[in-house]
Amino acid sequence: MDRRTLFPGITLPSLLVAPQLLLTVLFFLWPAVKAVQEAVTASNPFGTATVFVGLDNFTSLLLDPTYRAAIWRTVWFCMVVTALAMAGGLLFACYANRPLRGAKIYRTLLIWPYAVAPALSAVVWVFIMDPQIGILGRHLGAGWNYALNGGQAMALVIGASAWKQVSYNFIFYLAALQAIPRSLIEAATLDGARGFTRFRTMIWPMLLPTTLFLMVVNLVYAAFDTFGLIYALTGGGPAGATETMVVKVYEDGYIGNDIGGSAAQSVVLMIMIVALTAVQFRFLGRRGQ
């Protein structure tokens, strides 16, 4: 892991890591410490005094039915988005890996949505699905109105989130497929494996490390990066039907100004992402091999 040959000296390397360390302390450690600190204290309405309240903020958070609902909503939102986006990416990657005329053009056209901002993906889908102006939405009849129907809003938010993420998975699956040695596939073909059997018994196991890695990345994406998309598309509504945990932190902390409660929510999110990152690094190790 470490190099054999190094440069001598202490001052120069210290100066070189200093800028990043400074930013890290200012914008990562300090906010993190602040969040934990605020999560275990409460201040009076005038902000003139704070008292230590221990885990009170956490217990009231977990006893709050709207927060509990947000947790479960986030969990299944993440799982559905991950499943859809990964399935889409894998499907297109498998076909794009075949020797086709125009394979390069297909690849480019499937990769570019990576560049679409989640918030703009929401805008694009409004043009498609809006009940009045949407090119598709206006034909769906009077029953279609995601501004009023929570289920429809959730479906739309899931669809738009997955749509934007397919290209990311496509890129990784395609790279993984191209890394499988041709001779291995040829050997399997000579052994009589064809079509779906060949995919299930040969290719899918080889893709497993990529799949595990992508699973974590997609869960993180769905949990955290979709804020802009959800906020632009539904604002978390109707009636909180699409309010995920990150949307709620923003609503409670920035709009609602509930310092202790939102700090506790931040801490919960931190614990979540630490767990996900820990899982990711176990798989990263495996990918490296």
Partner 1 sequence: MKDKPDFLAHGVLLLGVILFVLPIWVMMAGATQNAGAIARGDLSLIPNPHGFGMFGRALFFGGASRAGYPVWHMLLVSFAMAVGIAAGKIAISLISAFAIAFFRFPFRKLAFWTIFLTLMLPVEVRIIPSFAVVSSLKLINTYGGLTLPLIASATATLLFRQVFTALPDELVEAARLDGAGPLVFLRDMVLPVSRANLAALFVILFVYGWNQYLWPLLAASSPAYTTLVLGIVQMMAPDQMTPWNLVMATTTLALLPPVAVVVALQGAFVRGLTETDK
Q: If binding is defined by CB under 8 A, does position 277 make contact with partner 1?
A: yes
Strand stretches in 75-139, DSSP E: none
Q: Which among 193, 121, 104 is positioned nearest to 158, based on CA atoms?
A: 121
Find the farthest-apart pair of alpha carbons in the chain and give their distance in angstroms, rounded: 78
Is residue 41 classed as helix, strand or coil in its secondary structure? Answer: strand
Q: If binding is defined by CB under 8 A, does position 274 make contact with partner 1?
A: yes
Q: Assess contact for 98 and 203: CB atoms under 8 A.
A: no
Which region, judged by CB under 8 A, interacts with partner 1, from 45-53, 66-74, 114-122, 197-205?
114-122
Task: Give dist(CA 217, CA 244) in Å, integer.
Answer: 17
Q: If binding is defined by CB under 8 A, does position 146 make contact with partner 1?
A: no
Instruction: Give whichever of 56 and 258 is closer to partner 1, judged by the CB atom.
Output: 258
Q: Which residue among 69, 80, 83, 113 contacts partner 1 (CB under 8 A)?
A: 113
Binders of partner 1 among residues 247 to 266 (CB under 8 A) are 249-250, 253-254, 259, 262-263, 266
Nearby residues of 284 by Cβ (< 8 Å), 6 or more positions away? 213
Instruction: Give whichever of 77 and 125 is closer to partner 1, judged by the CB atom.
Output: 125
Q: Which residue among 30, 201, 205, 282 contacts partner 1 (CB under 8 A)?
A: 30
Q: Which residue among 67, 77, 92, 144 contacts partner 1 (CB under 8 A)?
A: 92
Q: If binding is defined by CB under 8 A, does position 96 make contact with partner 1?
A: yes
Binders of partner 1 among residues 115 to 144 (CB under 8 A) are 115-120, 122-128, 132-135, 138
Binders of partner 1 among residues 171 to 230 (CB under 8 A) are 171-172, 175, 213, 217, 220, 224-225, 227-228
Burial of residue 207 (CB within 10 Å: 0-12, 13-18, 19+) is: buried
Q: If binding is defined by CB under 8 A, does position 58 make contact with partner 1?
A: no
Question: Could you give the dihedral angle defined by the CA atoms of residues 26, 258, 75 and 272, in that order, rounded to the nearest 10 degrees?
Answer: 30
Binders of partner 1 among residues 157 to 176 (CB under 8 A) are 163, 166-167, 171-172, 175
Nearby residues of 261 by Cβ (< 8 Å), 6 or more positions away? 57, 60, 61, 252, 253
Q: If binding is defined by CB under 8 A, does position 270 make contact with partner 1?
A: yes
Q: If binding is defined by CB under 8 A, does position 83 make contact with partner 1?
A: no
